[in-house]
Structure 1
Amino acid sequence: MTQASSGRSTARGVLVAACLSTLVVNANTSAVSILLPAISADTGMSVETLQWAVTGYSLVGAATIVTSGSLGDVFGRKRVFQIGLLLFVASCVLIALSSSGGMVIAGRAIQGAAGATILACGLSLLSVANTGSAQLRAVSLWGAAAAVGAAAGPLLGGVLVEVTGWHALFWVDAVVALGVMVLTAVTVSESRDTARSRSIDLGGSVLVALTLTPFILALSKGSAWGWASVATLGCFALAVAAGVGFVAVERRVAVPMLDLALLRNRILVGSTLAILIGAGTINALMYLVSLYFQDPSTLGLSPLEAGLATLPATVGLVLVAPFVPRLAARFGGRQVVGAGFAITAAGFAMLGFAEGSWLYGAFVLPLVAVAIGMGLSNGPASAAATASVDATEVGAASGVSNMARYVGAAVATALAATVYGSVIADRTAAGLPQADALSDGLAAASWLMAAFSVLGVAMAVVMGRRARAARGTLADSAASAAAGSFTLPTSATPVAATQVAP
């Protein structure tokens, strides 16, 4: 085999490994909410506690998404990618063998680190294995795989629960990840960034976790403990202290997770907060409707039926996104972001009037509205994040926006779960029928998500008018479709090097 043909073979192997791994990670992530009622019935743990299987994943992902990319740059992207895959396999096996909800939550926390590592290092491997137009095509295919995985996850999870039980999803994912490990070992060459400092901001990762964990714990347990209780206030105090410590560390470390100087960039701050709000509200929606649709007191859908019922939100989001870059190029990115959040807020507001007597048809229009709104806002916000900085800062800006997705998903899901559960408990104690109590819980959480979406409109204003707009190319469409789970470069992104940083 000649050197040229070997290079082509390696590039093809990296493409298949990276795309398959991101597809399975995103499908796994989006499927778990559908599985929660089945896991609850099997393990005896309440779905309110099992929300940590969702928030714990996002929490750990937020702490590791940037650091895992840095570890790959220093110690070898292939090596760290393989470690991520190994962790993913181990977490899948742990969850599949779980007999308790605690083991499921622990496995999902490990999976958060694994998934973040796979996404960050897989994309880096892909970008350095290709150049020019081949790199653009490869990254676009990676983005398409990410979008397809996120859309297909709930349906796949529903099918597997119906056919063999909830454990099957994790066995299937483990087998696929093992296959990717073998493919990577055979076809992928090692690479690292020899010019990068070997300093790794591990302290920053730990402090992110120490900030988010007690904060989310307080949000989840505050209503039960009492919002003015020692436990709740102590958790908030610990979160604030860890947050202050994080800022102190980032000011002193050689290569920080978060370059605090970037926070002076108004466009980046506005777009990053828009990304955080968008990721948070869509994850909260999927959590809420997955539980509501399957409850026997309301629609009583099976897991498969619930997966099908979420398709207007998941598939609609993917189908709308590719057309968004052209709209942004014509009308302006912040206008499209603002319009998207306004439509999303309207969709959540419609859910705010939910009643226990509603049939599934009443939910379709709100789900479609939220999907269209998210599709409109995600792409331009991600594009603005990487277009608003100098070429040398693109990787850092991308890392900030990717971390924001995990933070938004963790916080918003925890808030939605808390409001949903608290209102249901209050209404049930007041003697309301269970269906009415559940619909009131869904309505209250939806109004909260509508308020967050209105804040997203405000972030479009914060972004201002100076952000460079993408031209609306095919690659821009792929980046827009993937924007729900990862920030990819667009035609508006300054070009610094071949590597696409996490």
Structure 2
Amino acid sequence: MSTEELPRLGSATGRWILLATILGSSVASLDATVVNIALPRIGESLDTDVAGLQWTLNGYTLTLASFILLGGSLGDHLGRRKVFVWGVIGFALASVLCGVAVNIEMLVGARILQGVAGALLTPGSLALISSSIDQRDQGAAIGLWSGFGGVAGALGPFLGGWLIELAGWQSIFFINVPLALVVVLVTLKQVPESHDPNAAARLDIPGAVVVALALGALTFGLIDKMALLVVAGLLLLAVFVVIELRSDHPLVPPSLFASRIFTAANLVTFAVYAALGGVFFLLILQLQLVAGYSPLMSGMATVPVTLIMLALSAPAGRWAQVHGARIPMTAGPLLAAAGLVLLLRIGPDATYLTDVLPGVLVFGLGLSVLVAPLTGAVLGAVPSSEAGIASGVNNAVARTAQLLAVAALPGLAGITGSLGDPVEFDRGFGVAMWICAGLLMTGSLLAAVLLRAPRHTPTLDNVDCMPQCGVAGPALAPLHKTE
């Protein structure tokens, strides 16, 4: 289909395409948000310990982080609609397996499959808008997609908490099935197929396999405290770098890192998102296990973070566009770190207005200052023709940071074994928040020292900002440039 034949956003076909992509991305983002809220109930129901809950999150994040770039490449080669539909169907089937899991091993296995499906689904959502909507309307379409994605992120904690209390933790997985059915039917009927005529002739399968093995070894090693596996994971990461340097069709083009700004922004991303991974994993557990909150109340407790980001991310991006990203990327992590210090007030019988809300507000304000300038710096550091792969690499870096943080942080903070001792968990939570605050301050220092003005800054008409706060979900604000 040529550019001239692409439907306008105001047409019936354009609206159907937007519906399919919004619902598709919302299925993944809602799942990521609500699984965190369900963790205490999952632990109780399946009689598992902290390690089991770590794997419940990391089984998904591991395969998602490993294969998300490959998933985007598959769509370019085999057809974006086809791979998107495969991802949605696979996500629904894996969700059913999650819901009927009778033990933690079955649940983790299903979550691993869910992550593979997510790696097919997630890149395709925005790619379908870029390839299926008339060029003149793509900015508006991406804005609507972003806005509704943010609304889904805000509703997720409320919907998840309500479902868990009403029908049990299994319901948060079963709800994906009817949504996925609508997405598949609309996509097959209304969304045209598209390919990338400039895609590389071959896929970087060796790179994808090696990085998956590397992250798997690191995750196993960090959760089970097996130094040999950690070393093996680091060696496999070195092998991955060699593969990418020698490949003529690399999964992660080494040329991107020739830009000092791109490299610096991704270092900041790794430090900051490692902190966020730990915070969103442990905060919900602290609220339920120590403060005695219900799933619904613990989910609602973090909603202000998403609302603040919805309100302030765009103004922060505009400010950074004029004044540069260095100041907000330095100040944002410091504000977020201050929020974590305030969250140390959460303990037994914590009062929301005095013990929880102040930390949540300051933490959310810090993220709002940081996220849009961070991704703008990533895109501004590369030519516009490489904006898509640059955003994908940054997204993968964020997911990898979250994966490793969830694997390592509980052990570092002394949170191990059973979930039945609130006093021990409370003590470990305090240590973990100080570690996460240290990671945020490290990100701030990296930004202050390494960042300078990028070669060019994306205009606001060509980027979108989608704040999402699920620890296992996508990067908090992936920005994509339209052509």
Common topology (TM > 0.5): yes
Q: How does 1:296-307 map to 2 (within 5 A)?
A: 298-307=290-299
Q: How does 1:325-364 map to 2 (within 5 A)?
A: 325-352=317-344, 355-356=347-348, 358-360=350-352, 361-364=354-357
Q: Deviations over 1:211-259 (max 9, x none)?
A: 111112222122xxxxxxxxx2210221122112101211222211111
Q: Tell me the amino acid that sits aligned with residue 444 of structure 1.
A: V
Task: State how far apart, in whole Å, the 2-side matches of 1:66 and 1:262 are.
Answer: 15
Task: State how far apart, in whole Å, the 2-side matches of 1:352 and 1:162 are.
Answer: 27
- Say if 1:322 and 1:480, in contact at 8 Å, map to a contact too: no
Change (3 A) 1:175 1:379: same
Q: Which residue of 1 aligns with 2:427?
A: 440
Q: Which residue of 2 aligns with 1:393?
A: 386
Change (3 A) 1:6 1:68: same
Q: How does 1:183-222 map to 2 (within 5 A)?
A: 183-222=186-225
Q: Which residue of 1 aligns with 2:471?
A: none
State yes or no: 1:481 paired with 2:455. no
Q: Tell me the amino acid that sits aligned with residue 294 of structure 2.
A: S
Q: What secondary structure, in the 3-state scheme, does the structure 2 residue paired with 1:61 have?
A: helix
State yes or no: 1:45 paired with 2:44. no
Q: Which residue of 2 aligns with 1:310?
A: 302
Deviation of 1:5 after TM superposition, in Å, equals 9.2
Task: State how far apart, in whole Å, the 2-side matches of 1:410 and 1:446 are.
Answer: 17
TM-score, normalised by the number of residues in structure 1:
0.88
- Say if 1:337 and 1:376, in contact at 8 Å, map to a contact too: yes
Task: State how far apart, in whole Å, the 2-side matches of 1:219 and 1:372 are.
Answer: 31
Task: State how far apart, in whole Å, the 2-side matches of 1:71 and 1:425 are.
Answer: 40
Q: Deviations over 1:20-76 (max 9, x none)?
A: 111121011111110011111111122432211112211111111111110011111
Task: State how far apart, in whole Å, the 2-side matches of 1:119 and 1:29 are.
Answer: 12
Q: Tell me the amino acid that sits aligned with residue 386 of structure 1.
A: L
Q: Which residue of 1 aligns with 2:287?
A: 293
Task: State how far apart, in whole Å, the 1-side matches of 2:141 and 2:39 are.
Answer: 35
- Say if 2:337 and 2:438, in contact at 8 Å, map to a contact too: yes
Change (3 A) 1:299 1:131: same
Please list every run of 5 or more consecutive structure 2 residues that lacks an aligned counterpart in the other structure: 469-473
231, 238, 256: which one aligns with 1:262? 256
179, 182, 191: which one aligns with 1:179? 182
Deviation of 1:336 after TM superposition, in Å, equals 0.8
- Say if 1:250 and 1:257, in contact at 8 Å, map to a contact too: yes
Report which stretch shifted further, 4-13 or 232-241: 4-13
Q: Which residue of 2 aligns with 1:87?
A: 90
25, 32, 36: which one aligns with 1:22? 25
Task: State how far apart, in whole Å, the 1-side matches of 2:88 and 2:375 are.
Answer: 26
Task: State how far apart, in whole Å, the 2-side matches of 1:142 and 1:273 are.
Answer: 28
Change (3 A) 1:38 1:480: closer
- Say if 2:46 and 2:102, in contact at 8 Å, map to a contact too: yes
Task: State how far apart, in whole Å, the 2-side matches of 1:278 and 1:138 are.
Answer: 29
Deviation of 1:124 after TM superposition, in Å, equals 0.9
Q: Tell me the amino acid that sits aligned with residue 439 of structure 1.
A: D
* Identity across matched positions, percent: 27
Q: Tell me the amino acid that sits aligned with residue 479 of structure 1.
A: C
442, 446, 454: which one aligns with 1:459? 446
Report which stretch shifted further, 199-208 or 144-153: 144-153
What is the count of residue pairs matched by the alignment?
471
Q: What secondary structure, in the 3-state scheme, does the structure 1 residue paired with 2:102 have?
A: coil
Deviation of 1:471 after TM superposition, in Å, equals 5.0
TM-score, normalised by the number of residues in structure 2:
0.91
Q: What secondary structure, in the 3-state scheme, does the structure 2 residue paired with 1:209 have?
A: helix
Q: Tell me the amino acid that sits aligned with residue 284 of structure 1.
A: G
Q: Tell me the amino acid that sits aligned with residue 300 of structure 2.
A: L
- Say if 1:380 and 1:480, in contact at 8 Å, map to a contact too: no
Q: Which residue of 2 aligns with 1:103?
A: 106
- Say if 2:271 and 2:401, in contact at 8 Å, map to a contact too: yes
Q: Tell me the amino acid that sits aligned with residue 456 of structure 2.
A: R
Q: Deviations over 1:127-166 (max 9, x none)?
A: 0112333011111222223322233222221010011111
Q: How does 1:11-160 map to 2 (within 5 A)?
A: 11-160=14-163
Q: What secondary structure, in the 3-state scheme, does the structure 2 residue paired with 1:479 have?
A: coil
Task: State how far apart, in whole Å, the 2-side matches of 1:147 and 1:282 are.
Answer: 17
Task: State how far apart, in whole Å, the 2-side matches of 1:459 and 1:349 are.
Answer: 21
Q: Deviations over 1:349-381 (max 9, x none)?
A: 333565556443312211211111112111111
Report which stretch shifted further, 356-365 or 478-487: 478-487
Change (3 A) 1:5 1:401: closer
Q: Deviations over 1:263-307 (max 9, x none)?
A: 221111111222233333223212111111111xx2111111111
Deviation of 1:314 after TM superposition, in Å, equals 3.3
CA RMSD, 1 decimal: 2.4
Q: How does 1:416-431 map to 2 (within 5 A)?
A: 416-420=409-413, 422-423=414-415
Q: What secondary structure, in the 3-state scheme, does the structure 2 residue paired with 1:51 have?
A: helix
- Say if 1:402 and 1:487, in contact at 8 Å, map to a contact too: yes
Deviation of 1:480 after TM superposition, in Å, equals 5.4
Task: State how far apart, in whole Å, the 1-side matches of 2:247 and 2:273 are.
Answer: 29
Change (3 A) 1:434 1:234: closer
Change (3 A) 1:417 1:174: farther
Q: Tell me the amino acid that sits aligned with residue 143 of structure 1.
A: S
Deviation of 1:176 after TM superposition, in Å, equals 0.2
Q: Which residue of 2 aligns with 1:236?
A: 230
Q: Tell me the amino acid that sits aligned with residue 468 of structure 1.
A: H
Change (3 A) 1:282 1:233: closer
Change (3 A) 1:355 1:306: closer
Q: Tell me the amino acid that sits aligned with residue 374 of structure 1.
A: L
222, 242, 245: which one aligns with 2:239? 245
